[in-house]
Amino acid sequence: MLKSTLLKAVAATALSLSTWASAQAVDLQFYFPVAVGGKAADTIQELTAAYEKQNPDVNIDAVYAGSYQDTVAKAITASRGGNPPQLSVILSVDMFTLIDEDLIVPFDDYLTTGEDKEWLNGFYPAFMENSQTGGKTYGIPFQRSTPVLYWNKEAFKEAGLDPDVAPATWDEMVSFGKKLTKIDASGKVSQWGVRIPSSGFPYWLFQGLAIENGAILANAEGNQTYFDDPKVVEALQYLVDLSTKDKVMAPGIIEWGATPKAFFEGQTAMMWTSTGNLTNVRDNAPFEFGVAMLPKKKERGAPTGGGNFYLFKGTSDEQAKAAVDFVKWITAPEQSAKWTMATGYVAPRPATWDTETMKAYAESFPPVLVARDQLQYAKAELSTYQNQRITGIFNDALAAAITGKKTPEEALKDAQAQAEAILADYR
């Protein structure tokens, strides 16, 4: 009887302790988007579960929130409703919008030690360009990218081109594209030379052309655009000419989401898309392919892209500390290596590339190094206050030129005037 009573007391105490521990656990919720194919969502869940196992006092609810656009909209709506996530992965270019909406806090408030600051300084400078403003760090690079050029080596060989050499200049991309474009006697095209998507993220891929021509689209403060710069006009004319004059790319608006599939099915011999699609291409391309930096005009260049972690207001001090610890953990070398291998996103810290894991992966799959090496030429992705309005205006200008409704010069002049009307108040 005494033994039974003791056992019951021990069990009750254990249950009580378990209940107490559960009550003391820190609950975190974070939203994340998936903008490319592959194993991104599954890998996030695996990494989150691994962190929880190592930190049983933290519960993390990782919510797949759809596209980048869906995710930022849901995060803003939840915040306005008084129920913000503690963390969210949102496009780096939405930093000014989140600041303007007064929804996020800088990470600096929770990175106070010398070790913390050393960690913060360990990210690639190109990725920090649109993660910091006003001397504060609002975004921590996570699923970051640059656009790269993919090419079908079998198609190159069939066209009499060296299958191991990608076009290095704008002129070469046109000359290669002419050899790669297949047209039958009736004029039907079965294979285009190149495909540069103009939906989804048209401004982003176009920005690669602008940077290569020595132009930037906006200033670092996010309150001034340069859409009508003659170098930007020249870059847009080149993009339009790929279809209308050179006839190496399909006319009209080209879908972002359908581009990898078109590449796999041989509808295009080259494509521009995110390095975040690298694992998707590796797993699904039925032919040998290559990956190269974007071709240059005046210089090499590409915009950075992808998402950052943001820390939301309305988070308790305890939650914020746990959230920052999670961010530090998931961007640490081994976890970052797993993420890069699963998705193709660029590991945002040089330390990740120094791990034996990544060295072995890069040796077995050299294309993973292309986007990393391109960072030395990269510039910040277009990011301004009222960012979605500004990029919407610019995307509309690109579409007007691509579809022939306006000349590149007219479209960009109109876009600049509209952007100026919005951003003048922020200067």
Pick the CATH number of 147-303+386-426 from 2.60.40.10, 3.40.50.720, 3.40.50.300, 3.40.190.10: 3.40.190.10
Contact 283, 155 (CB under 8 A): no
Which candidate, 308, 273, 316, 275, places its Cα nearest to that of 97?
Answer: 308
How far is residue 410's CA from residue 400's CA, in Å, rounded to a whole number? 9
Contact 123, 141 (CB under 8 A): yes
Q: Assess whether the region 26-145+305-367 and the region 147-303+386-426 belong to the same CATH fold.
A: yes
Give the alpha-carbon dihedral of 292, 294, 297, 299, to 10 degrees.
-90
For the record, the structure tokens of 23 come out as 């009550």
Distances, alpha carbon 3 to alpha carbons 7, 10, 49, in Å: 6, 11, 39
Q: Return the domain boundaries, the chain.
A: 26-145+305-367, 147-303+386-426
Contacts of residue 403, defined as CB under 8 A and 6 or more positions apart, other chains included, come to 252, 253
Q: Enter the DSSP assignment of 216.
A: -
Contacts of residue 397, defined as CB under 8 A and 6 or more positions apart, other chains included, come to 227, 406, 411, 412, 414, 415
How many other C-beta atoms are found inside a 10 Å radius of the C-beta of residue 129? 17
Fold of 26-145+305-367: D-Maltodextrin-Binding Protein; domain 2 (3.40.190)
pTM of the model: 0.86
Contact 178, 193 (CB under 8 A): yes
Rg from Cα positions in the chain: 24
pLDDT given at position 20: 40
pLDDT given at position 9: 44
pLDDT given at position 265: 98
One DSSP character per residue, 274-309 reads EGGGHHHHHHH-SS-EEEEPPPBSSS--EE-EEEEE
pLDDT given at position 7: 43
How far is residue 353's CA from residue 210's CA, in Å, rounded to a whole number? 29
Per-residue pLDDT of the chain (427 residues; tens, 9 = 90+): 444 444 444 444 444 444 444 446 899 998 988 654 446 778 888 999 999 999 999 999 988 888 888 999 999 999 999 999 999 999 999 999 999 999 999 999 999 999 999 999 999 999 999 999 999 999 999 999 999 999 999 999 999 999 999 999 999 999 999 999 999 989 999 999 999 999 988 999 999 999 999 999 999 999 999 999 999 999 999 999 999 999 999 999 999 999 999 999 999 999 999 998 898 999 999 999 999 999 999 999 999 999 999 999 999 999 999 999 999 999 999 999 999 998 888 999 999 999 999 999 999 999 999 999 999 999 999 999 999 899 999 999 999 999 999 999 999 999 999 999 999 999 8
Instruction: Specify the 3-state DSSP secondary structure of 211.
Output: helix
